Amino acid sequence: MKKKTRVNIYDVAEEAGFSISTVSRALNDDARISAKTKVKVKAAARRLGFQKNAIATSLSTNQSKVIGVLVSELNRGFLSSLVHTLEDTAFAMGYSVIICQTNNSHEREKTYMDTLIASRIAGIIATLSLETDSYEHFEKAKEQGIKVVLVDRVSPKIKSTTKIVIDDYQTAFEGTQHIIGQGYDKIAYVSGPTKQLLYADRLRGFEQALKVAGLPLNPEWIEYSDDLSYEEGTRIAKKILSRKDKPNAIFTANNLAAISTIAYARQIGIRVPEDLGVIGFSEEPFSAFMQPSVTSIRQPSTEMGKLAVQKLVEEINADPGESYIHQKIILDTELIPRESTNRLCKR
Amino acid sequence: MKKKTRVNIYDVAEEAGFSISTVSRALNDDARISAKTKVKVKAAARRLGFQKNAIATSLSTNQSKVIGVLVSELNRGFLSSLVHTLEDTAFAMGYSVIICQTNNSHEREKTYMDTLIASRIAGIIATLSLETDSYEHFEKAKEQGIKVVLVDRVSPKIKSTTKIVIDDYQTAFEGTQHIIGQGYDKIAYVSGPTKQLLYADRLRGFEQALKVAGLPLNPEWIEYSDDLSYEEGTRIAKKILSRKDKPNAIFTANNLAAISTIAYARQIGIRVPEDLGVIGFSEEPFSAFMQPSVTSIRQPSTEMGKLAVQKLVEEINADPGESYIHQKIILDTELIPRESTNRLCKR
DNA sequence: TTGTAGGCGTTATCAT
DNA sequence: ATGATAACGCCTACAA
């Protein structure tokens, strides 16, 4: 009927003079097979250049050693660093990683989910797309027995799922306190889309810190962006800094926006940090190298990536009989004070 | 024997009242199946929540829609941007992408190659690990019928393979000419490991440009690094700038080293670009945002990524009867002059 | 310790 | 246009 393609266990069985079951067991180091036989079988396999077909194994055992990673875009600092760690940790645990960029599109996230389900992967590690506001596709995956771990961008609407996050509210609160502590008192905020929980939390933290400090919360000083790109940052900085009543500090919900804000401010002759303090979420590799260097908030991408894989594999290997208890793990962040908010000390 | 797991075509066949052959054909939109039947079958499939098992398809057809990507590290500008495009293009062409970070280890590259071969993937797009200096594992993949495309870091020892590169020699030559044109005449060079062809070529281009311009080629001004990290860049800058006979410009084989060189120089009171010109290979997202901004050489990661996938898929789909002609494609680079080499005009 | 045979979920060949 | 059935390559329950 169909032509066989490469060397398979039947060939090895013939070469070694055993049955295919013995060959299969020998190659998988089954305890029941004698050492001698194993040696013979493995020698035969080597002689023929046998490479076991993982597809067939997967079909037969109904499990795979592949993890799907859903992520918006790879070419941003935090995410590329996260995926770097994810892949590295997965490799160490014997898993491969399929990368699925959603480009922040809900549609594409769903399409990819179907592909991943069809591929019968072992589990999914996902950072929600910015656009995503319904979650049936995640339920679908879980119904099919695919384990899911959510990282960074999560939603309380997705139940029974391990989540690995930072405390966005608290972090924004403390970041704001840092600015206030540096003597800035008219503080603007550049937010991402608040339908994403983490942006809503950050905004709340910011507002709360102002309230606690008794500082004004000027609605004109709060702006929203869908993607917080460099260009968007510039556009919004322009808008904010052209108001009659200008702020003397800007807190941005990511670091790219902070950098473009600084660049724009300097361009129009506003001194940073003297006239304008700037702080941004998400440490980027270049935050420290800028002039002035940029005060930012480090998210522990390495720890998040490691934990995500470990928790996922833990759940994959969990006894199906026992009920697995899902955790929401909150990791520490670190405020890294740099020149861009350093109004107190002379540089 | 074993328990079946999810809804399969047998279930759909029963639900729809057809045989599994008809169901399979209907779901694949085979021309022989009547429109009515297709509608019925698809409705049945939807009713049962059927999701075709890609593993089984793959086993049966002996082909998969997965591309393996071998890359040293994801968290560097050029590579994360390349992989970003690779994934995006692959998605558009109906392929998924498995990411394999080698961490520049030859050993790990070989291990991954075995995994990829076992997974019976359709093809591989690879950027050689810095350590790699033998290539049997690539031959092995090709023997197994897996198509390979090499990007950026290639080797002439790997034959019959599509290669997508830049002209490293010419680019370094022109970069050096740019520095010379800015009035620098004592130029140092920071190289990567020259057993990698691209670093050897860049060094040759640098040397040739000096020769043509009649400038001295001081062996003390040429340094080598295995990984060109930020730390390495600092270490080497320190070494070069502490010589009695100091250069007045430094050309680094990547951009991270350029940035750390600038940072170190400024730290010890050397003005950039007035006292020291700095230029680096590989544009990074932060090259433009630095103070001073960094003159660098943009490698067309987007075009490289697109082409790599297109050529790979082209070869995968090529008629096995015809012989496929492999190309080496050389893409243009772009020198982006910025402040770090701008000695002529006042800023 | 080793062998036999059935099953995983498809696709493809050969009939009808 | 549709159906029956043998592959694809491996694993594993059961038998010996």
Distance between CA A136 and CA A132 in Å, rounded? 11
Distance, in angstroms, between B251 CA and closest chain A CA? 19
The predicted-structure confidence for B79-132, as pLDDT tens digits, reads as follows: 999 999 999 999 999 999 999 999 999 999 999 999 999 999 999 999 998 888
**CATH fold of B168-299+335-341, please?**
Rossmann fold (3.40.50)
| Closest CA in chain A for residue B82 | A75
Mean pLDDT of the region B323-347: 89
Banded pLDDT at B4 (limits 50, 70, 90): low
pLDDT of residue A157 exceeding 80, the answer is yes
Nucleotide lying nearest to B60, CA to C1' measure: D8
Task: Please report, to the nearest 10 degrees, the dihedral formed by the alpha carbons of residues A177, A183, A185, A190 taken in order.
Answer: -60
What is the CA B170 to C1' D6 distance in angstroms?
Answer: 59
- From first CA to last CA, the distance across chain B in angstroms is 79
Q: Does B100 touch chain A (CB under 8 A)?
A: yes
Q: Does B63 touch chain A (CB under 8 A)?
A: no
Q: Does A129 touch chain B (CB under 8 A)?
A: no
**Long-range CB contact pairs, A287-291, < 8 A, 24+:** A287/A255, A287/A259, A287/A336, A287/A338, A288/A336, A288/A338, A289/B259, A289/B263, A289/B286, A289/B290, A290/A259, A290/A262, A290/A340, A290/B286, A290/B289, A290/B290, A290/B291, A291/B290, A291/B291, A291/B292
Report the b/e string of A154-182 with b at 16+ CB within 10 A: bbeebeebbbbbbebbbbbbbbbbbbbeb
pTM given for the model = 0.92
Banded pLDDT at B302 (limits 50, 70, 90): very high
For residue A9, which residues of chain B lie inside 8 Å, CB to CB?
A: none
The predicted-structure confidence for A65-107, as pLDDT tens digits, reads as follows: 999 999 999 988 899 999 999 999 999 999 999 999 999 999 9
The predicted-structure confidence for A202-241, as pLDDT tens digits, reads as follows: 999 999 999 999 998 899 999 999 888 888 999 999 999 9
* pLDDT at site A88: 97
Which residues in 58-97 of chain A line strand D, with CB less than 7 A from it?
59-61
For the domain spanning B9-52, the CATH number is: 1.10.260.40
* Proximity of residue B32 CB to strand D below 7 A: yes
Banded pLDDT at B284 (limits 50, 70, 90): confident
Contact criterion met (CB < 8 Å) for B284 and A286: yes
* pLDDT at site B1: 46
Taking alpha carbons only, the member of B176, B183, B187 closest to residue B344 is B183
| Closest CA in chain A for residue B71 | A84
* pLDDT at site A99: 97
Number of residue pairs across A and B with CB atoms under 8 Å?
Answer: 131
Positive or negative, the CA dihedral A334, A338, A341, A346 is: positive
pLDDT of residue A347 exceeding 70, the answer is no
Footprint of strand C on the protein (CB under 7 A): A 1-2, 17-22, 25, 32-34, 36-37, 59-60, 62; B 1-6, 8-10, 20-21, 24, 27-28, 50-53, 56-57, 59-61
Q: Does A170 touch chain B (CB under 8 A)?
A: no
Contact criterion met (CB < 8 Å) for B80 and A74: yes
Kindly report, as residue ranges, where domains of CATH 3.40.50.2300 are found in chain B. 63-165+301-331, 168-299+335-341
pLDDT of residue B235 exceeding 90, the answer is yes
The residue ranking higher by pLDDT, A331 or A144, is A331
**Least confident interval from A52-61, A245-254, B35-44, B314-323:** B314-323
The three-class DSSP label of residue B234 is helix
* pLDDT at site A2: 55
Strand D bases contacted by the protein (CB, 7 Å): 1-13
Using a 10 angstrom Cβ sphere, with 0-12 exposed, 13-18 middle and 19 or more buried, the burial of residue B4 is exposed
Which of A120, A263, A291 comes nearest B55 by C-beta? A120
Mean pLDDT of the region A282-305: 89
**The token pair that represents B333 in the structure block:** 């680079």
The predicted-structure confidence for A103-156, as pLDDT tens digits, reads as follows: 999 999 999 999 999 999 999 999 998 888 899 999 999 988 899 999 999 999
Mean pLDDT of the region B235-263: 93
Mean pLDDT of the region B197-206: 96
Average pLDDT, chain B: 92
Write out the DSSP string of A153-166.
S--TTS-S-EEEEE
* pLDDT at site B75: 82
Mean pLDDT of the region A26-54: 91
Angle at B232 between CA B263 and CA B222, to 5 degrees: 95
Contact criterion met (CB < 8 Å) for B99 and A115: no
The residue ranking higher by pLDDT, A8 or A290, is A8
For residue B120, which residues of chain A lie inside 8 Å, CB to CB?
A: 53-55
Q: Is the domain defined by A63-165+301-331 classed in CATH 3.40.50.2300?
A: yes
The residue ranking higher by pLDDT, B5 or A46, is A46
| Contact (Cβ atoms closer than 8 angstroms) between residue B261 and residue B190 | yes
Contact criterion met (CB < 8 Å) for B96 and A115: yes
* pLDDT at site B3: 58
For residue B100, which residues of chain A lie inside 8 Å, CB to CB?
A: 87, 91, 96
Contact criterion met (CB < 8 Å) for A100 and B96: yes
The residue ranking higher by pLDDT, B1 or A97, is A97
**The token pair that represents B26 in the structure block:** 């209907």
For the beta carbon of residue B181, count every other beta carbon within 10 angstroms: 14
pLDDT of residue B327 exceeding 80, the answer is yes
* pLDDT at site B347: 43
Banded pLDDT at A31 (limits 50, 70, 90): confident
Banded pLDDT at B290 (limits 50, 70, 90): confident
Average pLDDT, chain A: 92
Distance, in angstroms, between B216 CA and closest chain A CA? 32
Phi, psi of B66, deg, nearest 5: -125, 135
Banded pLDDT at A286 (limits 50, 70, 90): confident
**Least confident interval from A165-169, B177-181, B250-254, B340-344:** B340-344
For residue B291, which residues of chain A lie inside 8 Å, CB to CB?
A: 290-292
* pLDDT at site B2: 54
Nucleotide lying nearest to B58, CA to C1' measure: C10
Q: Does B80 touch chain A (CB under 8 A)?
A: yes
Distance, in angstroms, between B41 CA and closest chain A CA? 18
* pLDDT at site A1: 46
The three-class DSSP label of residue A104 is coil
Kindly report, as residue ranges, where domains of CATH 1.10.260.40 are found in chain B. 9-52
* pLDDT at site A345: 66
